[in-house]
Amino acid sequence: MKTTLLALAWSLSAGFPGHAAPADDWAPTAPREEIRPEFQRAEAGGRSGRAALVIRADEREGLHGWWQRTFPVTAGQHYRFTAWRRTENVALPRRSVLARVLWRDDAGNQVPRREGVVTNYSHGVVASAEPEYPRDVVAKSAGHDGWVEVSGVYEAPLGATEARVELHLLWAPNGKVEWSDVAFLPTEAPPPRRVRLAAVHYRPRNAKTPMDACRQFAPLIEEAARRQADLVALGETLTYAGTGSSYAECAETIPGPSTDYFGELAKQHALYVVCGLIERDQHQLFNVAILVGPDGKMAGKYRKVCLPDGEFDKGISPGDDYPVFDTRLGKIGMMICYDGFFPEVARELSNRGAEIIAWPVWGCNPDQARARACENHVYLVSSTYEDVSRNWMLTGVCGQDGRVLTQAKEWGTVCVAEVDLNQRTLWPWLGDFKAQIPRHRPFTRGE
């Protein structure tokens, strides 16, 4: 098919308050002529029927091109990018169909970013304002005949006078994308989403029954509430750890007595509680993490997927799913102990949108805890039975950059960290890495 190069006079659905509408046309662009796909404007196409920007690849591998246009910006002002995209014959849209926003100065050069960048690595580096990667909003996009919203809100950095918007198709033989209803408009800064995350450093002792072990956590949950925690994480298999009985003797149905007890405490103190228990489901036993909400009801359950020696050989069955739970705090996932030795568990939770991972963990390598937080840009809340003198797993909260934000070092204490789930973590050379993970992570078979 012959490549069509069109000069476009593309009007947005709304103008820029305080600015004339940009005069630049959308222009078709490719990294090299030999990998250039076909570009076309569909006058009556698009989600709204006004027009669509189309990119179509032939049967060859490796084609790549994008539409681009430049918009004027004011440093310090926030802007909302929105667009809708619809694909045909694109095997992996998360990698092959993407939008980027690039910040530029009057000369079209990249601008530095001197504030808000991680500085505990790459000492002395002056970071650049790296490209922004708007995200697919699939849940909000359902029911629009294949159209998916792509959006994001960004603050123009100091020195930026332009934003170059790019709409890509790459690595999709015989694939096609239509881009529609593109807008880049001033908006208000997103409000903060501050959440207080707590972890309990305690292992129950000398409990005669599973309920005795549960009751030992009551004053610690009360302490977390006194310090205004929104979520508190307890230890793994806490009824088993406290009684010294067998897995089968400590197992219970879920929901059951222990979840009811922690539900009462969660409701009394108006917070979320994560606790590690042993579940009985007919003839099977599972190592589980339970999320109970401030309404006193069970809000989520995760069955441990990765089972070590001492569990599978004693009759524990593995889970097979990675649920993420939508709460008033944000999206919460859970994993348990040995799961942390494998990057796949935390990665799949983050793939499904987890912003916080609660982690009851008997013991683990603390470097892996920091890695799980850093590589997924999530907040990790861990509660362990390890003493700090052993230099093994810690009870604490890790930030999106892998740093330990807070740690409980004494037995019977609680640590609390306040985080803002809307605060982006920016890196030298990477920018907002969390936004890039869906676009750049390797594909897996079965996707």
Classify 218 in phi/psi space as left (phi over 0), alpha (psi -120 to 50) or beta: alpha
250 backbone dihedrals φ, ψ, rounded to 5°: -95, -10
Residue appearing with tokens 């916080």: 356
Question: How many CA atoms, within 13 angstroms, populate the side-chain half-sphere of residue 142?
Answer: 2
Q: Which of 130, 149, 236, 279 is catalytic?
A: 236
Q: List Cα–Cα distances, 78 to 60, 115, 151, 153, 191, in angstroms.
A: 40, 15, 13, 7, 12
Contacts of 142 (CB under 8 A, 6+ apart): none
236 labelled catalytic: yes
Nearest C-alpha neighbor of 205 from the set 217, 213, 194, 195 = 213
Question: Contact, 335 vs 357, CB < 8 A?
Answer: yes
Q: Which of 214, 275, 337, 398 is catalytic?
A: 337
Q: Which string of b and e fits 67-83 if b means at least 16 CB within 10 Å? A: bbbbbbbeeeebbbbbb
Contacts of 102 (CB under 8 A, 6+ apart): 110, 131, 132, 163, 164, 166
337 labelled catalytic: yes
Q: Which of 176, 301, 304, 331 is catalytic?
A: 304
Give the catalytic positions in this structure: 236, 304, 337
